[in-house]
Structure 1
């Protein structure tokens, strides 16, 4: 991710995407894709109020014939009101590390099985990015997020995160010649300190290694890892943390 809710955004070091090949544009394929997200209960972030507020929700019903999408009511009343008043809303989720993003117009309040819910018209197109590197967000440099690897051979080690997404994390090795952390290696007892939201206890598998040169001229190695055993509760925590980082980034920029 780079700016997880900006349509088609990529990080500054990445080339711009040709979004046409990542776009679903027929009503049948859009409804089918969103129905799959609903069936599996994936968490969805909805940004409203010009990106100033967001809720975490789940899709409740996708009705292809009616052309509507029903999703769960948010926990905060004020944020719900902002969403109802918002004319443009951006939906983002990342089931199995594949980013789905689309935009709708104003949503409506409806009743769903006796409870309040939101309803929106199905979008005209949905962006479905297959590559994880396009929706990561960098972690704070001044206050690094640390990953404690308890089952690193001989003694535990702490690695500083470079970025984080629902697909995985990338981290700096303490020294370029640090043993272990080869592609395909797994570490089952890892703890990510996602302050102030809490700790994430997760397994990690090394998927790639990248040699880099830091601003001070020192050589460094960054490893990219995917999650092992990601549960819905863990997914929610990561999504909340990514949303928090994005709000902080926007506050600094704006």
Structure 2
């Protein structure tokens, strides 16, 4: 995961999020919410919980969903300081992607409980859960051997270059150099970004960070991807992306033969 300029320690203040309409993906019925969260708890994927106004997070798993009591129990974090900050946080954002289905919801303050003789957190069940049941755009993973690079010119402290994980007409997923790299909070916008598409051309785009995903690599280390949307994409830019995706598909079909 190349980083051609050092990430500065101070993150810039995030801009206001865009106006993505999530109403058709939002669960509002308590029965539906409890059922979906129980499914996640049974599957056991890692869940990221952002607290302290998005400045800190823990990696956890959902342990129990008590629909009757209206309570969600999740695992205790590994870092005492982030656990403390989570207990002091009045608003917490949960994000996970079980089997590629992006789920996000907001809860109130967490409290410490015992679950099966172990420390755990508990929160009241959320009133709403956003469940993206399908991707808005077809995404294709970019080459691993020769990764595409997104150069962010207006990053605080100097330009950075981040490797792409995938690309679509709607946006890109970027690898962060470290799991706690600053400057990529939810809603953060960057207006001067460039992505060179081999054999096709250069994309001049503006990006907005829409979600985070922490993954475990084969060596056991954790890495983070951030999903970014293109802001106000122009038809000419979409044409370049379509040409590049088609080119990748042709190359992969040729290799598979």
Alignment partner of 1:241 is 2:224: yes
Contact 1:161–1:170 (CA<8 Å) still a contact in 2? Answer: no
Aligned residue number for residue 127 of structure 2: 124
Q: How many angstroms does 1:132 deviate by?
A: 3.7
Aligned residue number for residue 75 of structure 1: 78
- Out of 129, 144, 160, the residue aligned to residue 148 of structure 2 is 160
Matched position secondary structure for 1:83: helix
Runs of 4+ displaced beyond 6 Å? 213-216
Contact 1:84–1:108 (CA<8 Å) still a contact in 2? Answer: yes
**Counterparts of 1:123 and 1:238, CA distance in 2:** 31
> Counterparts in 2 of 1:183-222, with a 5 A limit?
195-196=177-178, 219-220=200-201
CA RMSD, Structure 1 to Structure 2 (Å) = 4.0
Q: How many angstroms does 1:94 deviate by?
A: 0.9
- For this pair of structures, how many residues does the alignment match? 168
Aligned residue number for residue 95 of structure 1: 98
Alignment partner of 1:31 is 2:14: no
Is there any run of 5+ residues in structure 2 with no aligned partner, and where?
Answer: 1-13, 151-161, 169-173, 180-193, 204-214, 229-257
Contact 1:146–1:161 (CA<8 Å) still a contact in 2? Answer: no
Q: TM-score, normalised by structure 2?
A: 0.54
Q: TM-score, normalised by structure 1?
A: 0.55
**Counterparts of 2:124 and 2:97, CA distance in 1:** 21
Contact 1:161–1:169 (CA<8 Å) still a contact in 2? Answer: no
Instruction: Mark the CA change 1:92 to 1:164 in structure 2 (over 3 Å): closer, same or farther.
Output: farther
Larger RCO (alpha carbons 8 Å, 6+ apart): 2
Aligned residue number for residue 54 of structure 2: 51
Contact 2:147–2:163 (CA<8 Å) still a contact in 1? Answer: no
Matched position secondary structure for 1:74: coil
Q: How many angstroms does 1:95 deviate by?
A: 1.1
**Counterparts of 2:176 and 2:23, CA distance in 1:** 35
Aligned residue number for residue 20 of structure 1: 23
